[in-house]
Amino acid sequence: ESNKFKVPVCAVCDRLIIGTAKYCFIAKEDIKSKADRIGCASYESFYGDGSLPDLLKKQYEVKGYEGLLLSQRARKDDKGVYACESCKISLNRDYEAPPKYAIANGFVIGHLPDEIEYEKGDAIVTVDVPEALTSDVLCAILSPKRPFAFCISYFGGAHKSVRGHVTFFETDLSHVGEAASLFNRPGANPHIYCVLCGRMTKDQKELARKKAALDTEKLMALLTWYKEKSGHPAYANIVLPTTEFAAPTVIEDPENEHNTDKSGGDKV
């Protein structure tokens, strides 16, 4: 693997090294000798067993440096890794704690996998995660905490493309409650609305309705993954729903000559 076109990233803290900041080399034997400070075992001994799911370990595992929590984006070779000046200075000192911004200092965040497999009855459904997360509605419902209500508005018109914005309103947490109770509540979801406003063509209204539609299969796949495989504490105690999710409420006026335009072009 070539390092030639890689952006400078610190192997220890996973931060970009930009501007005039120094780019420091750390020999392989030196970085491996710091396993008691930036290793998986030391992380789990401090935060507790099970605090590092296997998926997270793999995302911060670098070939040749197994057992350490290092950035896969950083430049490295058989001789060693490259780090920022701050992390190198900290590792050279006789400390027990990891460097301040090190991955091993509680910054094991990770990222969602590109694909998630979900068991639906006897079939295995594969969900494309980046594509699923393009839905604003799905992301809003997936959130385990909702201190704000979501109002997604769309507007358009002849010779115009569909545009829109998202408005947030503070809500009473005593009414919103925990995600578990929301997921199991039948009927319309009162915290996410989609509004069709102003003059729009019929095709634009239909497109906005589709954007407000909820793909329950993708939502269930992501929710199940968060609860059973991610190790995310916010999803640990939720109860997976056994009924269909309620779709967001769509608010629109009946079609009339004042709010419905004729399309000025199919490609607009």
Length of the chain: 268
Range scoring the smallest mean pLDDT among 4-8, 71-75, 138-142, 244-248: 244-248
Burial of 94 (0-12, 13-18, 19+ CB in 10 A): exposed
pLDDT band at residue 190 using 50, 70 and 90 as cut-offs:
low
- Say whether pLDDT at 132 is over 80: yes
Range scoring the smallest mean pLDDT among 7-16, 133-142, 174-183: 174-183
pLDDT of 155: 66
- Say whether pLDDT at 60 is over 70: yes
Q: Is the pTM of this model over 0.85?
A: no
pLDDT of 184: 40
In contact, 116 and 123? CB cutoff 8 Å: no
DSSP single-letter state for residue 247? P
pLDDT band at residue 28 using 50, 70 and 90 as cut-offs:
very high
Quick one: three-class SS letters along 253-266? CCCCCCCEECCCCC
Number of CB atoms found within 10 A of residue 111's CB: 9
In contact, 3 and 78? CB cutoff 8 Å: no
- Say whether pLDDT at 65 is over 80: yes
pLDDT tens digit string along 45-57? 998 877 788 888 9
* Gap between the Cα atoms of 247 and 79, Å rounded: 55
